[in-house]
Structures are given as C-alpha cells and as structure tokens.
Amino acid sequence: MQRVERDLNRFRQIVRGRIKKNLRKYMSHGEMIGRQGKRYVSIPLPQIDLPQFRYGTKQSGGVGQGDGELGDSLGQDSDQAGQGEAGSEPGAHALEVDISLEELAQILGEELQLPNIKPKGRKNIVTEKDRYSGIRRTGPDSLRHFKRTYREALRRQIISGDYNPDDPIIVPRRDDMRYRSWKEVLRPESNAVIIYMMDVSGSMGTEQKELVRMTAFWIETWLRFQYREIDIRYIVHDAEAKEVDQDTFYHIREGGGTKISSAYKLCKRLIEERYPATEWNIYPFHFSDGDNWGGGDTRECVDLLRKDILPKVNLFCYGQVRSLYGSGRFAHDLEDYLSNEELLVISEISDRDDIYDAIKEFLGKGK
Amino acid sequence: MRKTLLPPELESAREEIEGYAREYGLDFFPILYEVLDYRTLYETAALGGFPIRYPHWRFGMEFDQLIKGHVWMGSTIYEMVINTNPSYAYLLEGNETVTQKMVMAHVTAHVDFFKNNMWFAHTNRKMLDEMANHASRIQRIIERYGYEVVEDFIDTCLSLENLIDYHAPYIKRAEAQTKQPLVGEEEIPLVQGLKVDHEYMQSYINPPEFLHQQKRKIDEDRLKQKSFPESPQKDILLFLLNYAPLERWQHTILEIVRNEAYYFAPQGMTKILNEGFASYWHSTIMTQRALKASEIISFADLHSGVVATSGGRLNPYKLGIELLRDIEDRWNKGKFGKDYAECDDIQAKRLWDKQLGLGRQKIFEIRRLYNDVTFIDEFLTPEFIAEQKLFTFEYNRDTDLYEIASREFEEIKQKLLFRLTNFGQPFIYIEDANYNNRGELFLRHRHEGVDLQWNYARDTMHNLHKLWTRPINLETMIDERKRVITFDGIEFSERRLD
C-alpha cells in the first residue's frame, strides 16, 4: 500500500499548493461555494495534468455511436459525447479535487497569515464530561465488562488448576467481576456565535448580496476551524430589523429606507438574551452599502456600538459593499467617531477582488 | 511480486478456460493470476498494472480518480493484464465465479494477442523487472539530487513523452542515431561534367545548361548536408537524448521515460482491435463452452455492460467485437473480393453465401498483422457503419455544443482514422537543430486541419526549452494562417509566414 500512498500524498500536496497559489482567484469566484458539502468542498483545478502537444478538442470533433438526427446535440463535454481517442486517453477534462473544510481553513490561514484566535478569558468556563475509560471491581451490572470478567475467571481457574481444556467451563465468581468506570473530564469550552446583519433595502442588489455571501463563506470556514461549535444567526434590516433563516437572509429583498440602528438594537438584544458575553465568543458582521437615514440614526448606531455591543464582542466587523448607487458615508462616520475602538474593523468591498483583503482585515486581528 | 495461489475453485476455472482457449487455437504465454482486494487492484491499476514504479504524483492522481470513480460512479475495473512473459493478470476479490471466468477468458485472449500480434513483437517481455529497475535507478537519483529537482525533471520529460516515433521499432530509419559534426571541413567538389575525349565535343556532351544543373545539384547537396538533422526527425526524445546538453542523471531519466513510452505504445495502437479480440473470445468461450445454465443471466448482464455505448460514446470494446464479427461473417460467406465488390444486385449481395467458412482463420490473421489504423482502414464498410449507427460530431460555436455532423461513410472513416493515426496526436518533427545558425530548435507541426491546443503547446515549448536550453521555434497554423511561434526562454513571439 505504501507505494501509491506516497504518490497520493504528493499529489494532495501539489493540489494544496495549487489552491494556495490561486487562493485569491478562488476567493473572487463564487464557484466553490455551490459545491460545498457538509465537510468537503469540491474545487475545479484546471491544468494539473502534464502539458503536451495535442489537438484542441473543439476544432477536431470525433466519431460517436447511437441514434440521432444530424444536428442533434451531444452536450458540451466532448469526452462525454464522443470518442475522445477511441477511449484511450484518460484525464483530459478539468480535474475536481475534494478538500476538507478544515484543510481549506488551514490554507486560508497560512496564505493570509491569519493568527490563531485567542478565545477571550474563557478559561474558567469548563464543561464536565464523563468518559468511560477505567475499570473497577464494583459497580452496577449494567456496566459489567464481560470480556474482562471472563478473562479474570479464566486466569483464576488456570492458576488454581480448575481449568480443564477438554471441558472448558468458566464460571466467574464475585471477585472476578469487573465493571467499567468513568472519569470526569473537564474541557475548556469555547463556543462562538456569528451574527450576520445585512442591509436589504432597495439599493442592495444581487451582486452585493453575492459579495456578502462569498465573504461569509470564508469567514465561516475560518471560524469553524477555530471553534468547535458555532452558532450562526441572521438579521436583515431596512428601516426595521428582523431575524431570519439562512436562505431568507441571502434571498430576501425589501424596499424602503435604511435604519441601521434597528439591526444593532436587535443584535444587542440577541446577545443579552441568548449569548451572554461571559460564555460566548461573539462575532457580529454587518454588511451594508453605507447609506443610512440622516439625522440621528448614525449617532444612535455609534452609541449602541460603543456602549452595548463592542464591550461584549470579540470583534465587530463592518463591511461596506459598493452598490449601484455608490458607497455611502456610514464607514466614514464610524471611523470618525470610533477610530480608537480596537475591536471594530471596517472594510470596504467594492468588488470581488476585495474579498481577499476584507477577510484579511476582519480575521487578521486574532481576536 | 507477492505470489498468491488461486483458491481451488478459481484454479480449476482457470484450467477449464485455458483448455477451451487452446482448443479454439489461442496461443498464449503462461498467465499468473492474482486475486486482489479492490484497493490494491486500483493501486496497481494506477501504476499502469505494474507493482513497482518510480515515485510520481500522477500515479497518486490516477489512484484518486479511480477510487472516486469507484465510490461515486460505481465504475469497476474487472480485468487487468500486463504484457510480459509470463503474463500477470489481476482478479477482483469477491467477484462471482462467473465473472472471474469471463475475465479469465478475456485475459487469455489478450495474452494471445500480446504474444502473436506483430506490433508487440519488439516489446520487452521482462518489463516487470525493467520497471522495477527504473524505479530503483530513479530512487537513487532522487537520493542524490533531491525529490523536487527530480520530480520537476520527470514532469518535463513526461510532457514530451508523446514525441516519439511510434513506427521506429519496425523500420530502420537512416541516421536517427548517427552523430555528425555540425560543421565539417570539406572540399568543395568541382563541376566536371562527363568525360570528354576530344575538346571539340565538350559543348555537345556537356552543354552549359547541363553543367549548370550539375552545379546546382552539388550546391543543394552541400546545403542539405549542412542542415542538421539531414531529414526531419520524429523521435524527438531520441534526438534530445543524443544532442541536448543533459547531465548524466537527466539523460538516465529521459531514457527511462522514452523506454516506457515505447513499451506502452503498441497497446495504444491496438486498443480497438485488442479489446475487440478479447471480447470476441470471452463471448465465444463463455457462450459456447464455459457457461452453466445458472450463470447465463449474470454473464449476459456483464457482457452487455462491457459493450454498452451510452450518450453517443464510441466504445472500443463494442466497435472491435462488432467489426470482428462482421468480418467473420463476411469471410464465412465469401463476401469479399472482386466478384462481391462488383456485384450490383443488392438482394444478391445480401444473400451472398459461398460457404467458405474462412471467418475464424481471418480473425487469427487480423490479430497477427493488424493495428487499429489498418484494421479500420481495411475492414470498415458502409453497411457496417449504417448497422452500428456511427456518426461524426463537430463542435458548434454558436450553441457551444457538440452536434452530430454526418452519417456518411467516407467522412466517418476519415475522422476515425484521423483520431487513431499517431494516437490522434499531432505530428511534430524536428527540422533544424541549428536554426538561424544559432543552435535554435526548429519544429514543424504537420498541420492536418486541426490546430494545436495553445495553452498546452506553450507549456510544452517551455519544457522543451528546459532541455534544449536554446530558443524553440514551432511552425504551425493558427486559424488557417501559417505562423512561427518562438519561445526564447523568457517570452513568446509570433511571426507570420503568409
């Protein structure tokens, strides 16, 4: 088995290197998000095969077999359709490689030089867990270790000379009995919650939501890698905010104006009611095009952030995406009023190429 | 190699099958079967059927793809056999006995083909040892020069692997291996004309035009001698081995890659015929002799899987077995030759039966002398194409789809032959190794209507440059225009020739 294992490992290593090299490209293409499974993503890797002089497939066509009128289509993939090279040449199509989300996160971390997150002061929060790892001589019958008991009995009978190989009857006695026992294991708990907030007012179009979706994919990939358990909550807002599920979050479209404070209020309530800051690592991410109602609303947002949200969270990230109507002032305002807040990260995402940098800014703090 | 004896029921199946095969006249090397679990089988398949190969990631990639195909698409490898003497063949553990019997019949025919087909005559029958030998030589080089350096060089060689002369083992080509000085000292021969006894006859025997012609011929010859190589070379790997500035270890690796490419070449050249022949025999042996009544359904299921065509795909097993059966029928009935060809009466042609019974004999003749190209070229008939519903397809730019283009005999035959000749790979020759008198390499792509795939061609030129170290020029056609593409080691440039 060793032989191909060695080549397989090398192949995986090359794939990894290739993904790393093209990470920026992958991050600005949405293609891998759609291919995400529970634990794996599938990544198309063109040209990992060795280059050779060969014919372009499109021009050459080929010979096939079966029913059909002239002009009937055979599909897009010539390998699928016709002859290839009378079936001899394998691997002429783009390769798809599966990679675990964990490995993808590692690559992301290495490439963006993301520091590992230090969960904030959570050392005193531990969970107790029972693990059945020991053996003792007393216990309830339901925990009897049959094999150990039998072995003890067999050993005793052999020592005492009672054991007859021709008539191997083993009778355990009281002191042969063995029972499983448990130990309490204390494990430091570090749970995290991501609270996504998004402006869904009329000015946020499909492309803007796609930007958010792609950014969110990478945020989740990284945070899932850092924490064992992650809760994700979704809040949408225009002039009012409400909590929704993931699907609605990315597809809902509302009209009307924008009142960002409404979302921050809901976020604050969520933290207070469900995610006490002493037990949870909290990561709110807010995306909007930066247009907010005039007057006091931005003021109110700043107050909410400073007094209620920032003191409780690990990090608060605001991503301002550029919409058809340009970018609003909200990012500037936050910077003006809250420039000294260390836990606030602001990034402007004008197009897909900016996702790479945004991720780097958001997650580069190691909080 | 690990020797596992076949379990008794398979051993008796082997004896039974081989017995039938001999009665039918098959003539094969001894076959050593080994039963493998699917992982080991796929591993061996990834290594091209050989238990020991040099380390290279593409084997890992191949394995990854095979396992995925098995797990996700349910594709299974039934049979694998390598061309050595004795031949090694692998069976998948846990298959039904009827499956193993069919595989054995199939394998036995393959081994007969390896042994008797003339295109395999020059292959190394001790390739198992040779491959292991290659592996240990490369391993030693790796230990000395480092994995990544060697891997990179192997990648480079493999990218040029198809630049060999598939017919070289069967033809003596002049000067393929002669080493000549690039520039030789030489005396320029004078134009003398024919010998003249009397001075006054000179202008009659050697008129000025004749002398002029002679001079031109001498000049041309000299020019030809100066050009190096004298005639275009197709075995580019051999040329590089002889003349590229390679270090010793690089030379070793390139030689190994070339050696293995030549070993595998006949299998590529006879894919349709070899698989057709093996399928013909497993079907004949099983249905006429080996099958028990209880096994018929399983066999029918398996066999139809082997020869299935789906989605318009051409299946070499199917094409091969059908064409062989067609030939068997034609030669049994005497449907060949002048009389048959010149007969205009469709009804008479259909009912033609001279009761010659030469079918089986013809099949054995074909397995000895033919490869895919000659097989298709000689035996494909319009009737066969209609019956088998063959068609050509082409890419339609407007719809971005492949579409059925024709069901005409000539077009199908031509396209099929085009895809089989030179493995359906472009013909590329070294024309000049001292191009521009600056040691540049000049290659010509013999354009036959289809352009090269450009992203691949550029990377390949890059790799050629690594070996040759001087600029690489390639003459080809792009969108119906003649071009010379040059790679000087840093960038590509393009020159028009028309």
Asked if B58 and A11 come within 8 Å (Cβ–Cβ), the reply is yes
Does B158 lie at the interface with A, CB-CB under 8 angstroms? yes
Residues 6+ apart with CB under 8 A from B329: B335, B359
Checking if the pLDDT of A36 tops 70, the result is no
Q: List, for residues A301-351, the tens digit of each pLDDT value.
A: 888 988 888 888 888 999 998 877 777 788 888 888 888 888 888 888 888
Does B64 lie at the interface with A, CB-CB under 8 angstroms? yes
- What element of type H or E holds B19? helix B8-23
Q: What is the pLDDT of residue A121?
A: 54
Nearest CA in chain A to B320: A86
Q: Hey, where are the domains in chain B?
A: 8-117+270-297, 128-171+235-268, 307-420, 426-496
Nearest CA in chain A to B373: A86
Q: What is the pLDDT of residue A89?
A: 32
Number of Cβ within 10 Å of residue B406's Cβ equals 17
Residues of chain B found within 8 Å of residue A58, distances taken between Cβ atoms? 395
Closest Cβ opposite residue B404 in set A48, A49, A68: A68
Does A1 lie at the interface with B, CB-CB under 8 angstroms? yes
Just give the CATH number of B8-117+270-297. 1.10.10
Does B161 lie at the interface with A, CB-CB under 8 angstroms? yes
Q: What is the pLDDT of residue B112?
A: 97
Which is nearest to A254 in space by CA: A196, A320, A200, A293?
A200
Residue with tokens 């294992």: A5
Does B108 lie at the interface with A, CB-CB under 8 angstroms? no
* B173 to chain A, closest Cα gap in Å: 23
ipTM of the complex: 0.83
Does A158 lie at the interface with B, CB-CB under 8 angstroms? no
Strand partners, B31: B87
Q: List, for residues B73-87, the tens digit of each pLDDT value.
A: 777 777 899 999 999
- What element of type H or E holds B495? strand B492-496
Q: List, for residues A217-276, the tens digit of each pLDDT value.
A: 888 888 888 887 788 999 998 888 889 998 888 888 777 778 889 999 999 999 998 888
Comparing B409 with A97, which gets the higher pLDDT?
A: B409
Residues of chain B found within 8 Å of residue A63, distances taken between Cβ atoms? 314, 390-393, 412, 415-416, 419
Q: List, for residues A339-356, the tens digit of each pLDDT value.
A: 888 888 888 888 888 888
Asked if B65 and A7 come within 8 Å (Cβ–Cβ), the reply is no
Nearest CA in chain A to B479: A59
Strand order in the sheet with B80-82: B31-36, B87-92, B80-82
Q: List, for residues B379-389, the tens digit of each pLDDT value.
A: 999 999 999 99
Q: How far is CA A214 from the centre of its chain?
A: 12
Q: What is the pLDDT of residue A92?
A: 40
Does A82 lie at the interface with B, CB-CB under 8 angstroms? yes
Domains (ranges, CATH) in chain A?
A: 1-49+92-113 (no CATH), 126-186 (no CATH), 191-363 (3.40.50.410)
Asked if B315 and A65 come within 8 Å (Cβ–Cβ), the reply is yes
Asked if A70 and B404 come within 8 Å (Cβ–Cβ), the reply is yes
Q: Residue B222: which pLDDT band, with cuts at 50, 70 and 90?
A: low
